[in-house]
Structure 1
Amino acid sequence: MKTKFLLIVSMFLTTTINLNAQSFNIATFNIRYDNPKDSGNLWVDRAPIVSNLIRFHNFDVFGVQEGLKNQLDDMSKALPEYARYGRGRDDGKEAGEHSAIYYKKDRFKLVKSGDFWLSETPNVPGKGWDATCCNRICTWVYLEDIKTKKKFYTFNVHFDHQGIIARKESGKLMVLKIKEIAGNEPVLLTGDLNASRESEWYLSVANSGIVKDTYTDVKYPYQNNSSSNGFRIPRGMTVIDHIFMSKQFKATRWGILTDTYFGKYPSDHFPVTATVNL
């Protein structure tokens, strides 16, 4: 009888530990906006490939950059197991590119969500500092793991590609906004920073003490080339798409996914993914 009791207790403890130690896959993916000039790489052809890639690699939570409303709708239709949140950068509604976040509906529950712009006035749509081309937006969600009841924030962002000051200030703003919104809660940050690991704005985030790069936790990162490709064979090893995490997380895998179809790429960026444990 005593042996049977100890066995039951042991099984209960093992189950509890496994529940509390559940890992999940986080990813960042610049899907390239639906540009009619992308001859040979049009969205209508890439859309099913992008969705197939996401499902096969089993992303649990992922942030996309450059997604126009029609692209996000295509992905949601192809991936009904995911819910999404994110507003358009141009008007705070549906216009312009989105930095939307997708998450598995059967695994996570949305608790809170929001957006802010990378500018001196982050609460309203607008360009920031020396940015000349585009508004830039950051989207965030506060998710609860349905099984473990653990909660965490995920932020997703796309930094400017031209303004040097805009990128430097965006790095500082991200740190401030994460502190303001998430406080001491667990945090993940995905995004296209338009910068390598040597840039000032990357370092302002990575060395902030608030989050660090998941890449640095992993003994054998899967990095065979750069994270962007321009729809051509990539050259060099520069990574501009990043996944950061707060101290409550541990990363066990990190990689750049270089999937192709008929020799073509699903986007002009490769998705970057990490397996994390909260």
Structure 2
Amino acid sequence: MAVKKITFFTIAFFCVVLVQAQSLVVGTFNLRYDNPRDTGNLWVNRAPIVASLIQFHDFDVLGTQEGLRNQLDDIKNALPDYTYYGIGRDDGQAKGEHSAIFYKSAKFNVLKSGDFWLSATPEKPGPGWDAHLNRICSWVQLQDKKSKRKFYFFNVHYDHQGVQARRESSLLILKKIKEIAGNDPAVFTGDLNGGHDSEWYQSLSNSGWLKDTYKQVAHPYANNGSFNSFGTALQRTEIIDHIFITAPFTAQKWGILSDHYHGKYPSDHYPVLAVIKL
């Protein structure tokens, strides 16, 4: 009887440890919008490659940028284990590019969701400061169905031209994540259109609160920059796609996935993957 009790409690102990040490595969991926002028790299050809890449690398949650509604639906239809949240940046519904978040629907429940624009009036569509285009941040609060643990996931795409807009966007991001997530664990992903030397990146990295997963791991897999321009910028080393976390998350792995097929690339950005532990 005593042996049975010891065995039971031993199994129970290890089950608790496994739950406590839960790891998640998260990422960020600028999909490149469905541009009919991308001769040789059209979305109709890239779509199945993108879906296969997401499936193979087994992301639990993935922040995407630039996806139009038809692209997001193509991915969802190809990957029935995933669903997504996000609205169009142009009208707050389906029009324009999205900062959509894909997640495994069998693994997570969505408890809350929302969006805000990167501008002085974040509650409504419109460009901010000197931005060239509307820019939006989408977010969800997810709960793991087994462990019942909750965390927030924010995803964004900064403007590619407005320098002031990128500076102000980081200040707004810090403010909004604190307002929405409070002290709960949070992940923040996005194409910031700026590397580690940019002022807007450093505002986040030096916040004392958001931590760059790249800097948390001992051996980041960074053999390339994260922007490849469909193969014409392979010599670039700048990382402009980022994954940040708050405590109690810690990062175990980080890498740029330089997948390609027959000399072509799934997007003009490489996806970035991190394994994080809650």
Shorter-chain TM-score: what band?
over 0.9
Give a deviation string over 1:168-189, Cα, whole Å, max 9, x none: 0001000000011111010000
What's the counterpart of residue 144 of structure 2? 145
Q: Aligned equivalents of 2:19 and 2:211: distance in 1?
A: 25
Deviation at 1:229? 0.4
The residue type paired with residue 209 of structure 2 is I
What's the counterpart of residue 72 of structure 2? 72
Runs of 4+ in 1 over 6 A off after TM superposition: none
The residue type paired with residue 246 of structure 1 is T
Report percent identity of matched pairs: 58
Contact conserved, 2:63 with 2:99, CA < 8 A, in 1? yes
What's the counterpart of residue 48 of structure 2? 48
Q: Aligned equivalents of 2:242 and 2:250: distance in 1?
A: 15
> TM-score with structure 2 length normalisation?
0.98
Give a deviation string over 1:3-38, Cα, whole Å, max 9, x none: 221121111100111022110100000000000000
Q: Aligned equivalents of 1:18 and 1:84: distance in 2?
A: 27
Give a deviation string over 1:24-66, Cα, whole Å, max 9, x none: 1000000000000000000000000000000000000001000
What's the counterpart of residue 213 of structure 1? 212
Give a deviation string over 1:154-200, Cα, whole Å, max 9, x none: 00000000000000000100000001111101000000000001111
Q: Aligned equivalents of 1:29 and 1:272: distance in 2?
A: 7
Q: Give matches, 1:161-200, under 5 Å.
A: 161-200=160-199
Per mean C-alpha deviation after superposition, the further-off stretch among 51-60 and 230-239 is 230-239
Deviation at 1:210? 2.4
Q: Give matches, 1:113-152, under 5 Å.
A: 113-131=113-131, 133-152=132-151
What's the counterpart of residue 21 of structure 2? 21
What's the counterpart of residue 81 of structure 1? 81
The residue type paired with residue 204 of structure 1 is S
What's the counterpart of residue 5 of structure 1? 5
Contact conserved, 2:260 with 2:266, CA < 8 A, in 1? yes
Deviation at 1:216? 1.1
Per mean C-alpha deviation after superposition, the further-off stretch among 262-271 and 199-208 is 199-208
The residue type paired with residue 126 of structure 2 is G
Aligned length: 277
Contact conserved, 2:228 with 2:236, CA < 8 A, in 1? no
SS of aligned partner of 2:29: strand
Deviation at 1:106? 1.0
